[in-house]
């Protein structure tokens, strides 16, 4: 938290350890711990991303599949059920990013900065060889589906509320 000259108090993102969504502070480590217990995930990195027409940052989780699990075997519905069962709704990542590997710093901390900057920009996500999914797309908000360019346009146009 920080205060300004008028005494107003502001939430400040501390090195990516937290983000604010739906007027709630979300711990990236707590979300990563819950998602890391899903059997098809080997590693996970949670961070907040800016979304058009939304206040705060929506949760996004970049993850690597567990050994022996292929993209075709990944159960996106079960992953969403797992997250919804063990996290408060505001902490459930709206977006998930399937990536072949996570990047680490020299001190073996997972890098969030680049992922946070790329956000949900499909050009950047696809250029990295990753795939993006979300809890939107006209479903019941209880399973992850591919995030497409039409979804991005709907978000920008304010036709989708998260």
43: its two tokens: 């590693």
Domain contains 1: no
Mean pLDDT of the chain: 89
Q: What residues are paired with 149 via a beta bridge?
A: none
Q: Specify the pLDDT at position 96.
A: 98
- Classify residue 3: in a domain, yes or no: no
Neighbouring C-beta atoms of residue 3, cutoff 10 Å: 9
Residue 35 domain flag: yes
CA–CA gap between residue 126 and residue 61 (Å, rounded): 16
Q: Which residues of the chain have pLDDT under 70?
A: 1-2, 10-16, 137-139
- Indicate whether 162 belongs to any domain: no
Total domains in the fold of the chain: 1
Flag whether 80 is in a domain. yes
Residue 138 lies in a domain: yes
Distance separating the N- and C-terminal Cα atoms of the chain: 25
Q: What is the pLDDT of residue 160?
A: 83
Alpha-carbon distance of 126 to 146, in angstroms, equals 12
What are the distances in angstroms from CA 131 to CA 34, 52, 55, 97, 137? 21, 20, 25, 6, 15
pLDDT at 13: 47
Q: What is the CATH number of the domain that holds 112?
A: 3.30.300.30
4 within a domain of the structure (yes/no)? no
Look at residue 106 and tell me if it is in a domain. yes
Residue span of the structural domain in which 137 resides:
16-156
Q: Taking a C-beta distance cutoff of 8 angstroms, is the pair 101, 66 a contact? A: no
């Amino acid at each position: 938290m920080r205060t300004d000259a008028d005494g107003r108090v502001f939430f400040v993102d501390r090195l990516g350890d937290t983000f604010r969504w739906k007027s709630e502070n979300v711990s990236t480590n707590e979300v990563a711990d819950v998602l890391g217990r899903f059997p098809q995930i080997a590693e996970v990195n949670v961070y907040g991303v800016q979304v058009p027409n939304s206040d705060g940052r929506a949760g996004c989780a970049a993850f690597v599949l567990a050994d022996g699990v292929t993209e075709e075997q990944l159960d996106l519905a079960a992953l969403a059920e797992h997250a919804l069962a063990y996290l408060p709704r505001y902490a459930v990542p709206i977006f998930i990013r399937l990536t072949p590997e996570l990047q680490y710093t020299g001190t073996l901390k997972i890098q969030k900065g680049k992922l946070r900057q790329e956000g949900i920009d499909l050009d950047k996500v696809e250029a990295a060889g990753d795939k993006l999914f979300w809890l939107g797309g006209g479903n019941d908000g209880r399973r992850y589906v591919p995030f497409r360019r039409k979804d991005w346009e709907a978000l920008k146009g304010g036709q989708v509320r998260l």
